[in-house]
Structure 1
């Protein structure tokens, strides 16, 4: 997994739902200011719902601290639109079915489900500066208190 101080590749494509429309962008296009990328597995699952509900309730605090907030999963932008409507999400939801972000952050991990082994992204959070430098990583997030832990890390980074 990428470590703080390392720079990641940012020229990979993502589809995003920005609250108004679906767009295809390069990850670098989202770095107009520092970002927090919160990786989750799938819309409409209990842990992911807790994670995104926490973020939705505190989304404006990230902007107040000068950060863009991005939640990323493999779901389609059509699914993201419905999910955003359901949870009142006003931040960017990114669709990454090819795991481009996980490859850039070296965070593809082995997982097991229903007796099958596969590789998928780690449920983690990344603080990334405008030049692609990783400022911090939270490797195992607390889904219910996710926004609080991210905001605490931002305070650490800015003090």
Structure 2
């Protein structure tokens, strides 16, 4: 996994849902101010719903304090649009089925579910500066209280 102080490669494209609209963007376009990227596995699953509900409830706080919020999973933008509406999400949802962000942060790991092994990103969060420098990392997210742990991370910088 990438470490604090290192710079990620921001030269890749993602499909996103922002303000209910689908867009294709270069990742570095999302870094117009410090940005929190919260990685989750899949829309409409218990832990991921808790993680995103926590962010949605506190999204205005992050905006008011000068941070972009981006939640990223392998789900399609169509799924993200429905998910955003269902949970009242007003931050960016990014679709990354090829795990480009996870590769940029060196956070693809082998997982095992029901005896099946596969590679997938870790459930983690990154605070990135506008140039892609990693300012802070949460390696294991507390899904129920994700916004509070991010606030604490910011306050302790």
Q: How many residues align?
A: 157
Aligned position for 1:78: 78
Q: What is the TM-score normalised by the length of structure 1?
A: 0.98
Aligned position for 2:48: 48
State the 1:114 CA deviation: 2.0
Cα RMSD (Å) of the superposition?
Answer: 0.5
Q: What is the TM-score normalised by the length of structure 2?
A: 0.99
Aligned position for 1:16: 16
Q: Is the 8 A contact 1:14 1:96 kept in 2?
A: yes
Which runs of 4 or more aligned residues in structure 1 lie more than 6 Å from their structure 2 counterparts after TM superposition?
none
Aligned position for 1:107: 107
Q: Is the 8 A contact 1:73 1:96 kept in 2?
A: yes
State the 1:49 CA deviation: 0.3
Corresponding residue SS for 2:120? strand
Query: Which runs of 5 or more residues in structure 1 are unaligned?
Result: none
Q: Is the 8 A contact 1:19 1:84 kept in 2?
A: no
Aligned position for 2:31: 31
Query: Which runs of 5 or more residues in structure 2 are unaligned?
Result: none
State the 1:113 CA deviation: 1.2
CA-to-aligned-CA distance 1:111-140 (integer Å, 9 cap, x gap): 011211011000000000000100010000
